[in-house]
Each structure stands twice: as C-alpha cells, then as structure tokens.
C-alpha cells in the first residue's frame, strides 16, 4: 500500500489496559479511518528492520485517508519517538492515562488469565521484570516527555481513562476531532466493553474440562473441583479467585506504589493541564 503526502498517520501509543482495544474498535468503525489488520503492529518498537513498505502493507485497503496504528507498547519504547518523527513528522499521537495502580493490576491479571506466569502482584516491587512490565508503563509524564522532544504539543492528545466510562461519546468525539475526521459519526462499539480481564484458569483445568465435554461427562463445578483435586491436577483451593480484585492486594504494597506514582501524577498534571486529583 502506498500513501500520499496528504495522508495523516494517527498513533495510539498506549499504554496497555487503558481502553486501547475499545478505542481501536471504535476507530475501526469510522469510514475515514484505514486501520491495521490487528490492534498492534509493533513496527516502531520491535519490527522496524522490516522497512516502511512492510509497515504500510499492514494496513487494510480502504478509502480512509487517516492511517491508524494502535500499538500500546510504543509508549515504553526508547526508539519509537524518534523513529515515528523521522517517518511521519506530522503524525498525531494519542495517549490514554489510567490510574496507574489499577492499570498495573489489570495488566498483571491479563497475564495471569493467559497462564503466562505464576507470580503474585505483591512481588511487583521485588522482581524488576515485573516492575518493568506493570509499573513502568504508568510513568506517563516520563514517557510523554520523550515524545514531546520530537513532536509539538498540538500534535499530542492525552485522554483520561475515566472519561471512557463516564462520557464515552464526548471523549470519542474529541478523538475524532483531533484526528481530523467527522466527529459526529457514532461507532457501533461505543457502548461496548472489550478485552475485559476475567478469572484465570490453568492449562490443566482447561484441558480437563475439554476432555470431559468430549466424553459427554461434563459435571457440575463442584464435582469438577473434587475430581481435579483427587487427580492432583490442582490444589484444594484452586477455585478461589487469585487476587482478582485490587482490594485484595496487600495494603503495604499499595502504599509503596502510591509513593512511587505520586510524583509522576503531579508532573503529568503540570505537563498536560489535566485534573488528575482522583
């Protein structure tokens, strides 16, 4: 796919678990948007070596002259700001800022439900890999300032995640206006929730339930629990939700995270003019 000098590139830079999938679905509905085939391209942080022609071919063929790249991991990339500015100096950049502890916990739970790890959220301050994955994306001021080194303020839109729930129409209209497309259009997914974190099941649980269904022996949840425990597939307490709710997290960990994030939130208020007192 080729693009012209008049084409606009719009980037949603994240971070993850701040309604980026919902925004992607809303923008995908808009007739003036040509979006990517999936909701993350990762060109400017992981696949830059593949070249600009490869990148442009990741977009669906369409009539829209606004090309939309929704890759939420760009916010953390040390290379993405300069690379995007080099290729598209007039690009428009969107950030979603969510209360950072809630965002970190939601990110953690997403990994848990996919059975990618067995850590507890409380370990986030003890293991740097967890800290880098769940805490550092919430350093919004630090990340946005890196992009401001390459783009003027008028090309950057920062939206408060809370508004997506309280006034979705207004916030999507604001985003459409920023992108230079028809702001009156109402996407079909406006009132829908997408990519919501759910309770995690282990690989053993999923495989066992699948086999029971195949044999036509799918019993009640309580009988499944007894069977799994008897077979040694899971422990006695497997059915309890494993720290699914933020209020279950050790209050000392929450207190320490607040101390970590508070200076960043204050700087973000100064940087953007947003009221983030909540």
pLDDT at 200: 46
The mean pLDDT value for 25-46 works out to: 92
Is the pLDDT assigned to residue 227 strictly greater than 90? Answer: no
pLDDT in tens, 92-119: 999 999 999 999 999 998 888 776 677 8
Instruction: Find residue 94's DSSP bridge partners.
Output: 12, 157
The Cα-based distances of 118 to 67, 108, 114, 122, 135 in angstroms read 38, 10, 10, 12, 17
Q: What is the pLDDT of residues 248-267, one digit of tens each?
A: 899 999 999 999 999 999 99
- What is the tens place of the pLDDT at every residue in 147-164? 999 999 999 999 999 999
Taking the whole predicted model, whether its pTM rises above 0.85 is answered as: no
Q: Which of 14, 17, 4, 2 is nearest to 195 (CA)?
A: 17
pLDDT at res. 251: 93
Q: Are 139 and 75 in contact (CB under 8 A)?
A: no
How many beta carbons lie within 10 A of that of residue 239, not counting itself?
15
What average pLDDT does the chain have? 84
Q: SS3 for 59? A: strand
Q: For residue range 154-212, list pLDDT tens digits in order.
A: 999 999 999 998 999 999 999 999 999 999 999 988 876 555 444 444 555 566 666 66
Q: Is 222 helix (H, G, I), strand (E, B) or coil?
A: helix
Predicted confidence (pLDDT) at residue 85 exceeds the cutoff of 90: yes
């Amino acid at each position: 796919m080729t693009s012209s000098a008049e084409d606009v590139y719009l980037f949603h830079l994240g971070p993850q678990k701040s309604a980026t999938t919902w925004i992607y679905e809303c923008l995908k509905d808009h007739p003036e948007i040509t979006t990517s085939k999936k909701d993350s391209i990762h060109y400017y942080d992981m696949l830059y070596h593949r070249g600009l022609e490869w990148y442009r071919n990741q977009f669906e063929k369409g009539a829209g002259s606004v090309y939309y790249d929704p890759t939420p991991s760009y916010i953390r990339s040390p290379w993405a700001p300069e690379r995007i500015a080099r290729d598209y100096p007039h690009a428009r950049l969107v950030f979603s800022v969510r209360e950072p502890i809630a965002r970190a916990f939601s990110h953690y739970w997403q990994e848990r439900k996919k059975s990618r790890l067995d850590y507890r959220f409380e370990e986030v301050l003890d293991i740097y890999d967890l800290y880098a994955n769940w805490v550092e994306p919430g350093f919004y001021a630090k990340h946005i300032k890196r992009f401001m080194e390459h783009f003027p303020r008028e090309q950057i839109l920062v939206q408060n995640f809370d508004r997506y729930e309280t006034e979705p129409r207004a916030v999507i209209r604001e985003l459409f206006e920023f992108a230079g497309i028809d702001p009156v259009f109402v996407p079909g997914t406006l009132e829908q929730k997408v990519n919501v974190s759910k309770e995690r099941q282990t690989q053993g649980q999923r495989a066992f339930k699948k086999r029971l269904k195949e044999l036509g022996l799918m019993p009640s949840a309580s009988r499944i629990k007894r069977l799994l425990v008897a077979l040694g597939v899971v422990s006695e307490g497997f059915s309890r939700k494993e720290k699914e709710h933020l209020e279950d997290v050790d209050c000392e960990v929450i207190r320490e995270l607040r101390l970590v994030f508070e200076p960043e939130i204050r700087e973000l208020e100064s940087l953007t003019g947003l009221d983030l007192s909540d």
